[in-house]
Chain A
């Protein structure tokens, strides 16, 4: 079982707990501080970290994560640096790490070499935003093993027969997009989310985590009641943007995580 699988098992055994998945863009505001940020999130109680690879043209992201990507690129972050950052994180904590990326930087790097590098750095999973099952073969066929979980996205627009096809080569967990829209957009329909979670669970035993547009503890509470976990991205990134490189940022992030975790326990 993968590190991600073990994490969910642990949460399940501890009945009241749901997963808090935290996304940050690697290298925002710079690589050195990124390490501090990730370690802070882990210490404060985030269960799984998604490490975003910055990309010049993040078409699935709203303004908050777009700006984070630009800050990171301006500070010179490359995919190699992100993998190095993952390695540094894993040296200090065993929190499951997922690389979250658009396809082009990975394609340029080479899927085979990437797989080796991720395993070597201790990365546990990967999510490629713009690589649907129709095109994923060329990427996965270059992997020399199955030590990296391949996290799959399912959207509100995904019909049932497609869900079935998507979960087939998924592992780790399923990332369910809460609504049609980019990251960080507003407005959640809990009934719809609940029925989407149920329809995914018809086809897979993998844990289902819901992301996009979740920022308030109240939303965290409601969605944690109907899914196996939630993903917080833009809300953390907004805090990073607001406080910049400072001890106050780390304090604020810690507070934020604790508020979310508390909401999940209720």
Chain B
């Protein structure tokens, strides 16, 4: 760990050997156009940042609080746990930071339609919200399995004026929704902006989504310095595609701060029914970028499994692959059962229902905190609220969901 500047990706979107743009030629010109717009408008035009700040403050409700979870910390009896309350952002998750950014960029680029994929529905809701706010036509691709698991979010998207398109191919989850969104984008690329919800996909998406999500870490750093007058010791966040974790980690990459990304171990990594892409995957190319991928020896993509629809993805953002390889971030995995347990613990200790995705980060934080001294500071990214997951949690209360 050093204070040398962290300068990833290169100008073609490579994080070491990862990232890049592995897409059909039909999409390449659109990606090049997007990259230029991102550089000139998002990074280069101060009026864009100003507009963005205005929306983040008055519409999204930023900065979100950094909350010292004293009950939880006392209950565990170890480190001090702070929660970065992204669950309090408008629409109930961090996803809105990114969708407002991409929707604003859509308008600046003169396009009138947006499409998005969604797993848990959080990114879909956030995209539908930004589209309603900015007057854009919106289509959301969602796997049929996820539509079942996350019914309230489907209704929310429809109420926001978006069209939800059920995806029946494959396993009907996030990966298939992304396939279908890419197919639709190929056909409509001239007037449509594809709002990708994670730090995945082809360049410039990983770097662009990181740019829109880094506000999480920026605020957290300022807030912890105000409260504790020092940097935290450990950052913990869940990793599906990896946007909330990248958002929290990025500002701290050059600081002496330990970072842990928590993947979904599903029914247990050994059962094969999991979504621990970094822990158990191999290098490959999926959805336009090179990273770790859950796949067969023959290069066919495998299904991921997790109780949390937002982590149920066989790929992961390329920057995480890079951070894993250079040893800057440690990646661990937490089972469905452990995540559900953490859900209940936080609900009872703090009166906060966390999203099942965030419950994975919490589950590991609880383990980690127990082994650390009382002067250790841990920040957990509470990336979303759990209301959308009530039905799943209640089902599991009836006895389903034990690890195999």
Chain A interfacial positions (CB closer than 8 Å to B): 55-62, 66, 73, 78-80, 103-109, 129-132, 134-135, 152-159, 162, 166, 177, 180-182, 185
Contacts and interface: CB of A to CB of B under 8 A. Distances in A.
B254 interface: no
Interface stretch (B47-55, B88-96, B244-252, B284-292): B284-292
B29 A105 contact: no
Contact of A157 (B30, B170, B287, B288): B30
Contacts of B187: 180-182, 185
Given A104-B295, A153-B24, 20 more contacts: A59-B182, A59-B186, A60-B26, A78-B298, A80-B298, A103-B22, A104-B285, A104-B299, A108-B295, A129-B24, A130-B22, A134-B28, A157-B189, A166-B25, A177-B25, A180-B26, A180-B186, A180-B187, A182-B186, A182-B187
B299 A106 contact: yes
B222 interface: no
Contacts of B286: 57, 104
B24 A155 contact: yes
Interface string B276-297: 0000001111111000010101
B190 interface: yes
The 8 closest A-B pairs by CB, nearest first: A108-B299, A105-B299, A155-B26, A181-B187, A153-B25, A60-B24, A56-B300, A59-B182
A106 B290 CA distance: 13
15 contacts: A56-B300, A57-B175, A59-B182, A59-B183, A59-B186, A104-B293, A105-B300, A130-B285, A132-B24, A135-B22, A152-B25, A157-B30, A158-B25, A162-B28, A182-B183
Contacts of A153: 24-25
B23 interface: yes
B372 interface: no
B183 A155 contact: no
Nearest to A76: B298
A135 B190 CA distance: 23
Interface of B: 12, 20-30, 169-170, 175, 179, 182-183, 186-190, 282-288, 293, 295, 297-301
Nearest to A129: B24
B170 A130 contact: no
Chain B, interface SS category: mixed
Contacts of A61: 183
A80 B297 CA distance: 11
B26 A108 contact: no
Nearest to B23: A130
Contacts of B24: 59-60, 129-130, 132, 153, 155
Nearest to A103: B285
Contact of B190 (A80, A180, A185): A180
Nearest to B283: A107
Nearest to B284: A104
Contacts of B288: 130
Given A56-B170, A134-B12, A108 B21 contact: no
- Which of the listed residues B169, B190, B298 has the most CB atoms from chain A within 10 Å of its own CB? B298
B299 A155 contact: no
B298 A105 contact: yes
Contacts of A134: 12, 20-21, 28
Nearest to B175: A57
Contacts of A162: 28-29
B206 to A, nearest CB: 15
A131 B27 CA distance: 11
Given A130-B24, A153-B24, A155-B26, A57 B170 contact: yes
A166 B298 CA distance: 29
A173 to B, nearest CB: 15
Nearest to A132: B28
Nearest to B303: A56
A105 B25 CA distance: 19
Given A55-B300, A104-B293, A109-B299, A154 B186 contact: no
A135 B26 contact: no
B29 A157 contact: yes
Contacts of B29: 155, 157-159, 162
A73 B169 contact: no
Contacts of B25: 132, 152-155, 157-158, 166, 177
Contacts of B287: 57, 59
B189 A180 contact: yes
A171 to B, nearest CB: 16
Contact of A59 (B179, B189, B283, B297): B179
Contacts of B301: 56-57, 104
- Which of the listed residues A155, A159, A177 has the most CB atoms from chain B within 10 Å of its own CB? A155
A56 B300 CA distance: 5
Contacts of B28: 132, 134, 155, 157-158, 162
A12 to B, nearest CB: 26
